[in-house]
Amino acid sequence: MAMNLDELVKTANAMVAKGKGILAADESSGTIKKRFDTIKIDSTEDSRRDYREMLFRTSDALKNNISGVILYDETLRQNAKDGTPLVKILTDAGSIPGIKVDKGTKPLPFCPGELITEGLDGLGERLAEYYKLGARFAKWRAVIDIAPGIPSYTCIRTNSHALARYAALCQENNLVPIVEPEVLMDGGHDIDTCMQVTQWALKTVFEDLYYQRVKLEGIVLKPNMVISGKKAPTRAGYEEVAEKTIKVLKDCVPGAVPGIAFLSGGQSNEEATIHLDLMNKMGTHPWAVTFSYGRALQHDPLNVWAGKTDNVVAGQRAFAHRAHMNGLAAQGLWKRDLEKAA
């Protein structure tokens, strides 16, 4: 298949359209089981389908605030209860289906405590099949941890190279790559350490994207925010997070990139919304600044639904609310009293 740059650019821009962001619903079977354990329901093919179908049929949210949905392999192939392919439900609602293509992380040899993301073998063939199944973008997550003595040069370099290889294969198969180098917020580090590591990771990634001949106007970047570690004795406030995140991005991300869709990475629902809103209140940036949230969009609807058919409408209401709040934040229009109004 010959690369169609016009198609890639059109898709990438639609993914970061004004007031819209991406729903990450690509939890692996293991991760979604942990989520379902919290509401005490079994993770089966049917229960996973029912939950995701509830989200995908929230047509107002998808039409107004959710530009695309990252799916897991199983979900891309699944039909709704009435036999309609879930991909069709998404496209009918005006949302773009995407697919998680990495195979998860494994320990990085000779680098204790560090991980490498796998999944490059046979990726070209898988991408061609995913395109036929209706996917128009893909996602690959690299994981960079901060702890004493890490990250190492080896970790940053190896993960960056894999991200760039993946991105080139995606574009060759006419899928927009979401490039996701995630600096984790699990440690006790301060915000300035996160800032330095995020800058290092992003500089390396864009260097490797250049060497792999990736067209920047046909990608979406999914970075972490520059934020204190969860275990830090004192954590930076909202304004500092917004300012330092934008500073790093302006230093590292070329203006050719259509948009930046942040991961929420362990932030609470409201925290993720406030940070995004403040960044957009700072004025216009060279690229769209929006969201690609998983837990920060799903936590409330999952708990409201709790596996019960009777709760589907209430679950959809909770999902539409979070999607709307983040849609406003992506334009710098969020206000705290809108949360209470719900």
What are the pLDDT digits (tens) for 236-269?
Answer: 999 999 999 999 999 999 999 999 999 998 899 9
Per-residue pLDDT tens digits for 295-307: 999 999 999 999 9
Structure pTM? 0.97
Q: Where are the domains of the chain?
A: 5-341
Residue in 139, 180, 182, 244 annotated catalytic: 180
Q: Amino acid letter at 301?
A: P
Domain 5-341 has CATH 2.60.120.330: no
Residue in 100, 139, 222, 244 annotated catalytic: 222
What is the predicted pLDDT for the residue at 187?
94
180 is catalytic: yes
What is the predicted pLDDT for the residue at 342?
61
What is the predicted pLDDT for the residue at 232?
95
Q: Which of 286, 246, 273, 287 is nearest to 333 (CA)?
A: 273
Distance CA 65, CA 71 (A): 17
> Do 291 and 22 meet the contact criterion of CB atoms below 8 Å apart?
yes
Structure tokens at 129: 């099949």
Mean pLDDT of the chain: 97
Q: Residues of the chain with pLDDT > 90: what percent?
A: 97
pLDDT(1) > 80? no
Distance CA 217, CA 238 (A): 30
What is the predicted pLDDT for the residue at 340?
80
Count Cβ atoms within 10 A of the Cβ of residue 283 and give its class: 0-12 exposed, 13-18 middle, 19 or more buried.
exposed
pLDDT(312) > 80? yes
What is the predicted pLDDT for the residue at 341?
67
Distance CA 210, CA 290 (A): 24
What is the predicted pLDDT for the residue at 2?
86
